Amino acid sequence: DDGLHDRILLKLAMELRRALPRILKDHPPKYLWGYKYESSDESDEGDGEDGGTNLHADMAAVNVNVWLTPDHANLDPNSGGLVVYTVKPPGDWNHHKYNRDTDFVYDELIAPSGYANVTVPYKLNRVVMFDSALFHLTDKCKFKKGYTNRRINLTILYGEMALGGSITGKTNQATSRKQSADKTEL
């Protein structure tokens, strides 16, 4: 939980907050991390698609992702980005329940929403900003092999998470059924 705290990254986090006061004013920087994903040709699995981050929701108010690998490294320009679903964990779920049991999340929340999502294709220097409580995952991707072609993702989280409901603020059907039935810190 320490090591990725270079001054320029911390300055970026603060400058974004100043540049976007309507979104970030009430949300101080909380976490900052980066991933450099191994290409499938370099891993033992070799399944033809590169790894990424599995379905999860982050414990913050606002999620900012910036992609840093040149576009020529992405072998499919229509993919390689991020899939953001339109549902959040219910307020009575704990972090372990909604980030570890992904089959349950798909069955209880994602499927009943009709898998409603926004899929953002990868592009160098693209910034994707969204409510951190929304379930999301790395889109399928295939980047050229070689260390310099690996997909790099920088994430900055701001503020505290607000659970429950969907992107529209309405509680989804799975949440209603369930309720009636029962990185470096900045």
Contact 63, 131 (CB under 8 A): yes
147 pLDDT above the threshold of 50: yes
Q: Which of 125, 186, 184, 183 lies closest to 153 in space, CA to CA?
A: 125
Tens digit of pLDDT for each residue in 20-76? 999 999 999 999 999 898 876 555 454 446 678 899 999 999 999 999 999 999 999
Length of the chain measured in residues: 186
pLDDT-based confidence at 137, cuts 50/70/90? very high
For residues 14 and 8, give the distance between their C-alpha atoms in angstroms, rounded to a whole number: 10
Q: Which of 181, 183, 155 lies closest to 90 in space, CA to CA?
A: 181
For the residues 140-160, what does the mean pLDDT come to?
A: 93
Tens digit of pLDDT for each residue in 87-116? 999 988 888 888 888 999 999 999 999 999
172 pLDDT above the threshold of 80: no
Which of helix, strand or coil describes residue 100? helix
